[in-house]
Structure 1
Amino acid sequence: MGELTNMFTEGDLIIRPPFQRLFRWNDDQKSRLIESILIGIPLPSIFVAQDEEGRWELVDGLQRMSTLLQLQGLLDEASYPALTLIGTKYLPSMHGLVWDDPDDPTKALTPAQRRDIKRAKIDLKIVQRGSDPQTKFDLFQRLNSFGSKLSSAEIRNAQLVGVNPDFVEWLDELSAYDSFKTLVRLPESDLIKKYDQELVLRFLYLHELNDDEIRNIRNFQDGLEDFSVDLALNFSDDYRDKAGQIFKETFDRLASADEKILGRWDPTKMDFGGKFLNSSFEALAVSLGFLIRNELPTRTDLRQCAIEFWTLPEMTARFATGQSTEARLRKMVPAGREIISP
């Protein structure tokens, strides 16, 4: 850990500002990380991408690395004041402690505790930025199979940063768009696993495909990976502007219709309830995005469109049990496009 800290202060470990804005752990989560280190619990791997000058750019592990830097007072003081710890289950005596306090050592971690943190071992995975993108993705999958499991979205995020960090910054911007966040209402556990970025990529991938192309998808994850890498490699300002505008218009219109529109329609309550559902996302958001992209007419009563979608014969309480993503897409997307078209 001490070596990574030194690399950060010397400019050899880079945390890009757009990623730092995603530092969203609360003080309790940060304190539990410090507790884990002090009682000897191993930390998950951190991924970095090496640039052409040999510097390391943080790819995955932002919450952990930023917590350790904030504890030491090494982040921007205006945005991230030095961390004051909270008492934890196994170390309640940590409550109110800071990294160091020359005026009152009783308010700070002990020298032994600071040394334990500096000497903590963090497993580091390095990917060469010049590597072939598909090779890098395969490498992440292989490394992941030997350690603690990462989600496919986390692996993809690590890979894409190594291909084109500007593209990943743009995905972050879209995933933070207010209408999108309001509609998908993801729990913190999904946000940590970067499922919000997964949904953004799904929208970008699927909203370009016509019905026949949707029906011909044989392996959705492989198609999404190929699309993501290709888009990162060929990312342009024109694509950013056009696709970004379609994305925002799509989710603005859905949010204006009903902020819960991507949940299941409950006819007994005459309202949308429950959590966000992929089937609604595919039938409504992907379908609306396709129609907007191709400048085709759409109905304006999107709330009623969603109700009609849930009254289709196949949308029973048992729907999607055992359904593959590919089978679900073949039903949901064409059905949604037909309903939303006037």
Structure 2
Amino acid sequence: MGNMNIKDEASIINSDENVVSDVEQADLSINGDDSYTIYPNAEVRVEKAQYSIMHLHTLCLKRKELIIDPDFQRHDVWKQRQKSELIESILMGIPIPLMYLFEDKNGKKQVVDGRQRISAILDFLEGKFKLNNLRILKQFNGCCFADLDLKQQGVIEDFQLLFYIIQPPTPERVKYDIFDRVNRGGTPLNKQEMRNALYRGRCTRMLDKLCCSPEFLIATGRSINKERMKDQYVVLRAMAFLMLHRGEFKDIPALQYRGDIDDFLARFMVYVNDNAPEKLIVDYENLFIRCMQISYDLLGENGFRFSGNGIRRPINMPLFEALSYLFSFVPEKIDYTWASRLILDIESVKEEFDDSRYFSGNIDSTTSVSFRFDRMDKIRNRIQL
């Protein structure tokens, strides 16, 4: 059995210490060994727009055409002082930086950059805070919007905000890269946090449900930290590969895996949000939960870990994906004579995998992914799953 090499363990999750970089390094494995072009000759459509604050209020709170996701911006939340300074700038007529929106095919818009500013403006209009610590317009300290005279209210309502709107048919991967570029200030976002912001909907609700399921928590020994959405990244990958290798995407060219994990996961989330039959999602939620229960029943809470000679090693993400796929074929009624053979096969293949380059380093190349799932299929065929 090979010794654990910290540099090679880019594919692991460890909740016992701060290893955010481990998740993010695995998340950066993009192209693998394929000469796959991410978006050749992509059409990027960007429109410049100008909205008054009153129109912004209408779009967000009345017509619901501009979506602000309160769950996403949990880092660097503005304090009241920062909100007050923004309103003071608006009252003084000082331009504020432009903001970015995404527009979907139905015309709904989502804030990409500028959430804190928009939230602060709307909160002030809704009377949710009073101005304080103003250094220039001190006469307005202690005032909420309703306390201002009509002239000052008009100054705020008529203030013009500038936006860039990224419109269809801009490809998902281009949108993802734009989001990355405009969000590099402040606390850097990891890629799963970006996905969570870009593709909120049925898929993110599915991930929330599965990550909180007792079966997942028990099968992983509660060792995958929720911080920075590491648990959601692990489950997202497993679900996407599970559906892919069980043949759900055989007639969907856009959902074939070509070695770009970011593009694949983005397309998968869009598919789940917009196109997947409800029954398919429910069936796979139940299947995933059953896989977690089977893993714990057969292997305990260390099923997704490689042996560490007395040291508990982290969950290995490629192993988690491969075994989840294998367990998806295990019948509901387990014959324990047959199960003993399966356990021996799994322990044997785990030793083989621990020494394999396909489970460390560049884990997302098509070669690495195919190797892992082909190996699971060989076990299936041998014991007739």
Please classify the TM superposition score into its range, dividing by the shorter chain length: 0.5 to 0.7
**In the alignment, is residue 204 of structure 1 matched against residue 239 of structure 2?**
yes
1:190 to 222, 228, 231: 228
**Is 1:258–2:310 an aligned residue pair?**
no
Q: Which residue identity is paired with 1:335? A: R
* Residue of structure 1 in register with 2:351 after alignment: 311
1:289-315 CA-to-partner distances (Å, cap 9, x unmatched) read 3x2599999965687666444322x41
Matched with 1:92 is none
Q: Give the match for residue 30 of structure 1.
A: 77
2:183 paired with 1:143: no
Which protein has the larger Cα radius of gyration, Structure 1 or Structure 2?
A: 2
Q: Deviations over 1:118-163 (max 9, x none)?
A: 99x99866344xx34xx341441452464335655455555545xx
- The answer to whether structure 1 residue 282 and structure 2 residue 329 are counterparts is no
Unmatched 5+ residue regions in structure 2?
1-50, 90-95, 145-155, 251-255
Task: Find out whether 1:246 has 2:293 as its counterpart.
Answer: no
Cα deviations by residue, 1:78-114 (Å, 9 ceiling, x for unpaired) = xxxx7xxxxxxxxxxxxxxxx339xxx89xxx84699
Please list the CA deviations of residues 9-57 of structure 1 after superposition, one character each: whole Å capped at 9, or x if unmatched: 43445558xx65x46948xx536696699699x99966544574x5534
Q: Do 2:190 and 2:228's aligned partners in 1 also have CA atoms closer than 8 Å?
A: no
Q: Which has the higher contact order (CA 8 A, sep 6+)?
A: 2
| CA gap 1:2/1:185 in 2 versus in 1, 3 angstroms | farther
Change (3 A) 1:240 1:322: closer
CA change 1:177–1:48 in 2 (3 A) is farther
Shift of 1:281: 1.2
8 Å Cα contact 2:304-2:316 kept in structure 1: yes
Distance change >3 Å, CA 318–CA 198, structure 1 → 2: closer
Cα gap change, 1:241 to 1:2, in 2 (>3 Å): same
TM-score normalised by L of structure 1: 0.57
Cα deviations by residue, 1:214-257 (Å, 9 ceiling, x for unpaired): 9x954243544555544544311221222222122112333455
Aligned length: 289
Q: Which amino acid aligns with 1:264?
A: F
Change (3 A) 1:324 1:14: same
Q: Give the Cα separation in 1 of the matches to 2:142 and 2:306.
A: 50
State the AA in 2 paired with 1:252: Q
Tell me the SS of whatever aligns to 1:281: helix
Q: Which runs of 5+ in 1 are unaligned?
A: 76-81, 83-98
Considering only aligned residues, what root-mean-square deviation do their CA atoms show, in Å?
A: 5.4
Match of 1:333 in 2: 373
Classify the secondary structure of the residue corresponding to 2:292: helix
Cα distance in 2 between the residues matched to 1:309 and 1:188: 29
Match runs of 1:164-243 below 5 Å: 165-180=201-216, 183=220, 185-191=223-229, 196-210=231-245, 218-221=258-261, 222-243=263-284
TM-score normalized by structure 2? 0.52
Equivalent positions of 1:89-100 (< 5 A) are: 99-100=129-130
Aligned equivalents of 2:363 and 2:104: distance in 1?
Answer: 37
Change beyond 3 A, Cα 1:48–1:292: farther
Q: Which amino acid aligns with 1:266?
A: G
Residue 95 of structure 1 corresponds to which residue in structure 2? none
State the alpha-carbon separation in 1 of the partners of residues 162 and 211 from structure 2. Answer: 29
- The separation in 1 between residues aligned to 2:142 and 2:161, in whole angstroms, is 16
Counterpart of 2:277, as a letter, is S
Map 1:106-145 → 2, pairs under 5 A: 111=140, 126-128=165-167, 131-132=168-169, 135-144=170-179
Contact 1:207 1:287 in 2 (8 A): no
Sequence identity of aligned pairs in percent? 13
1:285 partner amino acid: S
Instruction: Report if the CA contact (8 A) 1:48-1:124 is conserved.
Output: no
* 1:23-102 correspondence to structure 2 within 5 Å: 25=74, 30=77, 47-49=101-103, 52=106, 56-57=109-110, 64=116, 68=120, 99-100=129-130
* 8 A contact 2:240–2:268 mirrored in 1: yes
Aligned mates of 1:36, 1:306 — CA distance in 2: 56
C-alpha contact 2:358 2:371 (8 A) present in aligned 1: no
Q: Deviations over 1:305-342 (max 9, x none)?
A: 66444322x41398745434123323333334545774
Match of 1:10 among 48, 62, 83: 62
8 Å CA contact retained: 2:72, 2:196: no
The CA deviation at 1:196 is 4.4
Tell me, in whole angstroms, the C-alpha distance in 2 between the residues paired with 1:196 and 1:62: 27
Alignment-mate amino acid for residue 10 of structure 1: K
Amino acid at match of 1:147: V
